[in-house]
Structure 1
Amino acid sequence: MSRSERSSLLLAGLLATAGVAHFAAPRQFDATIPRALPGKPRTWTYASGVAELALAAGVALPRTRRAAALATAAFFVGVFPANVKLAVDWRHRPASLRTVALARLPLQVPLVLWARGVAKGAEGRS
């Protein structure tokens, strides 16, 4: 298995794990949904879980990998406001929780770059 293939499958695994977590423990994700979004937070939690599962499937399949990886990069950018909300909401929590919330913010950058790298590695193979 090539390094590119391993990277793609690891990204798909991360997305699938996160997608399943949205259904297994939705309450923790509900709290990150920005209040400006219409509807109930649980709807957004489930919708983002479905999106992550769909992206995982797309990234796992060579035929759809490039498009799905680019969509994944956009998804990671799109969920950034939820991470900002979490950091703001947790600013008065214990230091360990604040650290986790703040660490999620810069973590989005390598996730976006990883997804773009997977897309680039899939060029010409789709």
Structure 2
Amino acid sequence: MSMLKRVFCVLLTVVMLLAGAAHFTMTATYVAIMPSFLPFPLALVYLSGVLEIVLGLGLQIPALRRLAAWGLVALLIAVLPANINQAVHNLQPEGLQMSQTMLWVRIPMQLVFIAWAFWLTRPERQGG
């Protein structure tokens, strides 16, 4: 693994660990932005937090790295509706108040995280 990819892999792990932990320390905040069509919002918040932590740690295990990165791609796509829901309805739960502009900026930022995780699924090019 190249040095650049290694650094970005560690950074994504840190981001996922912090985000996952936030699901347990700011649970009500995440529940408040869940789209109403999703069942069991509290359980989904906890599940996504656990997955962020487990998959983030999985990035640091070479044998699991690609699988963990694919898992993060899927998870980040799965939680995108909550970010969209928050922006569309201007939801401002305690602990996650943002300007309307920032709520909309979070959506393309999520796409950057998806691309980042996807990049980590790609094998290193040999000899070039």
Indicate yes or no: 2:110 matched with 1:102: no
Name the Cα RMSD after superposition.
Answer: 2.1
Residues 76 and 108, structure 1, Cα contact 8 Å, conserved in 2: yes
Runs (5+) with no aligned partner, structure 2: 93-97
| TM-superposed deviation, 1:27 | 1.4
Residues 48 and 75, structure 2, Cα contact 8 Å, conserved in 1: no
Equivalent residues, number: 120
2:119 counterpart residue number: 117
Higher helix share: 1
> Taking every aligned residue pair, what percent have the same amino acid on both sides?
31
Trace 1:46-125 onto structure 2 (pairs within 5 A): 46-90=46-90, 97-121=99-123
Q: How high is the TM-score relative to the length of structure 1?
A: 0.86
Query: Would you identify which runs of 4 or more consecutive aligned residues in structure 1 move more than 6 Å?
Result: none
Indicate yes or no: 2:2 matched with 1:4: no
| Equivalent position SS for 1:60 | coil
| TM-superposed deviation, 1:54 | 1.0
| TM-superposed deviation, 1:123 | 8.3
Distance 1:36 1:61, change over 3 A: same
